Amino acid sequence: MQDAARVPFYKRVSYLYLPALFVVTSLLLEVMMFSIMDISFPKAYIFSLSIILMIAALVALIQQKWIQVIILSLLFAWHLTTTISNIIAYDACMEIFSLETLKSLVMAFGNVGAVEIDFLFLVPIIALIVLYVIVTVLVMWFCRVPKKQNNHFWQVTLCGIMAFVSFFSYTIAYSGLPKYQNGTDNYVANLSNEKFLYDTFSNRVADLRTFGSYSYYIDNFLKLIGAKSDMTDVMQEKLNQEFEANEFALNDDEVLGEGYNLIMILMETFERAAVNPITMPNLYHFMRESCYEVDGYYSIERTCFTDHVGQNGMHEVGKELWNNYGDVTVPHSLANIFDRSNYQTAAFHDYDGRSYQRRKIFTNRFGFQSFTDFYDYENPRYTAHCGLNSDKELFEENLEQIAPADKNFYSYLVSVSTHSLNASRFNLRDYYPDYFDYIEKPENWNALKQIYPVLAKGSELEILTAENYLAGTYNFDLGFGALLNRLRTTRGKDGKFLIETTAFMMFGDHYYYVNPFALKPENNNPRDLLGNRCPMIVYNPKAKIKDSDKTQAENAVENTNKSLAERNQCGVPLRRFTSTMDIYPTVCSLFGIQTDKQLTYGHSIFDNEQSIGVGYLGGLTWGAVGYNGEETQSFQYQGRTYRTDKANWQLWRTADFVNFKGTPLTLEQIDEITPLVNRTYASIYLDTWLYDHNGFKDLAKSKAYHLRAAA
């Protein structure tokens, strides 16, 4: 046996080589990830660094290098996987990978074709992998030591000191975090507080970019097993057992109540600018003739979150409503409210359900009596992307179920023809040649080029992408036209045409985020508030047309058999800042549904209160759309030009309150915004607590959350 004392020093300390390689490569991988994601390196990286050093010190105690290799290689492989996932997810949908669900990763890879992801970022990562493998092999080959050594005192001592110092650094760093403030008046102050972020895991992206990967995923794991602080405990916010009624500003003679029907349509990936008289004539004219159009609606939600916010009026902090809380039912969802008034409640979506599993969510949690999707069609029309891809087919094959003549109904439809993946990955001419022929008719093509200059000046790919999207809008509009025709020509059980007794609530979930084509130039950046412009359309059959005793329903009936040139243009624009959270209270206002303001923190579009937007992308938006007749001014923000008569402020979770000029708000402006933010965040934290504790069970017993009784 070789004398251990004669072993060269570099071999005697060889137990440190692989742990040291692990530390170096982990740090390099972090630097690469944050650089590629264009995020500044975490200012509190001491948390992740301490964990990495503790792991290295503990592994260095192991005598057998092959065990070291297995442990460290598995950790390095995990780190590689999460790094690549985070880069793709962040680029595709502004998300990062979390342990609660693989949905972020699935969504990211599903969106790979929908965004321009430069996979060159893999080159340095692959180089790092090669470096790691080469150095590991060299260490294993050239630094072998005797199988038996009697004295490991210095090895144990050195590694123990390393582990202790790392743990001590971690605890000192945590104790040095600024204390967060308790109470409902301090939500804004806590948004950028690192201790609050660490204790509550309130924002995944902010957690990662503040503490680094290792601290983030340990934080994530502790939150998953319930070891982290509950946000509502931290913020001292609990549900008041007393019902706190909301009041909605709508004229009493325009409130619908029992006997009136509702059709709600979530328009997937929908731009307000996409509504034009060529490819969307039915929706275009319906809006101009008989609807309220909210000029100032902004949405930054993913489809499934829009479902939740629109159906429940709630927005859970972690934005995991879709994937978590599988057995939680929500008695104040719109479907459950209408069900308690003996309405038929039915949901429809022309998708195959592989991603979102809507059937269980809609029937169990939301309370719809039925759910129709891809699998319920007898002869579905396939495309390469997602099975059935025809909103026209969705409408036409289900007209009698969407709008039955013999009963009151609430129908919810989620479209898909305009989904961005269709526009970037396929030539839809192969599926809808007749649509393209229609679009490319000389008179239509010339008109569309005037509306969308990209059709005249874009590259071949840009033009194809634009046509794909416009073909999707045309597909939707044909189906919507079939529905309108049924409502205009079918009488209900009361003898009236259904158009006279059916309200519409229509809205987009998010803007059209496919590059390089966008209907408006500001839509390229998902962080820009103006790039989140979607349509919101409300049709209230009892609403009085301005300067007339005629109702919107009477105007709609009169226009049924008139030519487009003869129709009465009586649509009403409502100019106000509105967000996804305002959908639910608007419906409640229309139907006289009394809600608890603890849970319904959006505002009806008929209300005068200002709104705040909370979006899936992690930010807050607040604004008042300026239509006071003031002079329009333009200014630059993040390289883009904006006008002051749009939306005024954006608030991000970093608590950097800035206006679109990029300058900090004044104290007076922050004082004006703070109550709105406080109330919104108090409600969001309460939502999280209610979902975590299934705290909805007593709500159905309330006399509220019912449609207003028929007069």
Contact 274, 418 (CB under 8 A): yes
Residue 217: count other Cβ atoms within 10 Å of its Cβ: 21
User: Is beta strand 382-383 parallel, antiparallel or unpaired with respect to 387-388?
Assistant: antiparallel
Element (H, E) at 265: strand 261-267
Residue 321 token pair: 């409503």
Contact 210, 43 (CB under 8 A): yes
Contact 305, 619 (CB under 8 A): no
Give the angle 254-260-266 at the CA atoms, nearest 5°: 95
Amino acid found at 96: I
Place of tokens 């004082």: 671
Condensed to tens digits (0 to 9), the pLDDT of residues 74-126 reads 998 999 988 988 888 777 656 687 776 554 445 444 444 444 455 666 777 78
- CB < 8 Å & 24+ apart, contacts of 707-711: 707/257, 707/258, 707/337, 707/338, 707/341, 707/591, 707/592, 707/593, 708/255, 708/256, 708/257, 708/258, 708/591, 708/592, 708/593, 709/257, 709/258, 710/257, 710/258, 710/259, 711/257
Contact 523, 513 (CB under 8 A): yes
pLDDT along the chain (711 residues), means of 10: 57 79 93 88 92 92 85 91 84 69 50 50 78 79 60 76 89 87 59 77 80 91 76 67 77 89 93 89 90 80 82 72 64 92 92 63 88 73 52 90 96 86 67 91 94 84 84 93 95 94 92 53 41 80 84 86 81 82 93 84 83 59 42 38 42 43 60 69 73 68 76 59
Evaluated on CA atoms 105, 107, 110, 115, the torsion sign reads: negative
Contact 274, 546 (CB under 8 A): no
Residue ranges of the chain that CATH labels 3.40.720.10: 264-563+573-701
Determine the Cα–Cα distance for residues 107 and 110; give it in Å rounded to an integer: 5
Residue 656: count other Cβ atoms within 10 Å of its Cβ: 13
698 burial class (0-12, 13-18, 19+ CB within 10 angstroms)?
Answer: exposed
User: Is beta strand 572-574 parallel, antiparallel or unpaired with respect to 292-294?
Assistant: parallel
How high does pLDDT run on average in the chain?
A: 77
Closest alpha carbon to 622 in 614, 631, 634? 614
pTM recorded for the entire structure: 0.77
Specify whether domain 264-563+573-701 bears CATH 2.60.40.10.
no
Q: Can you state the angle between helices 213-224 and 204-211, rounded to 10 degrees?
A: 140
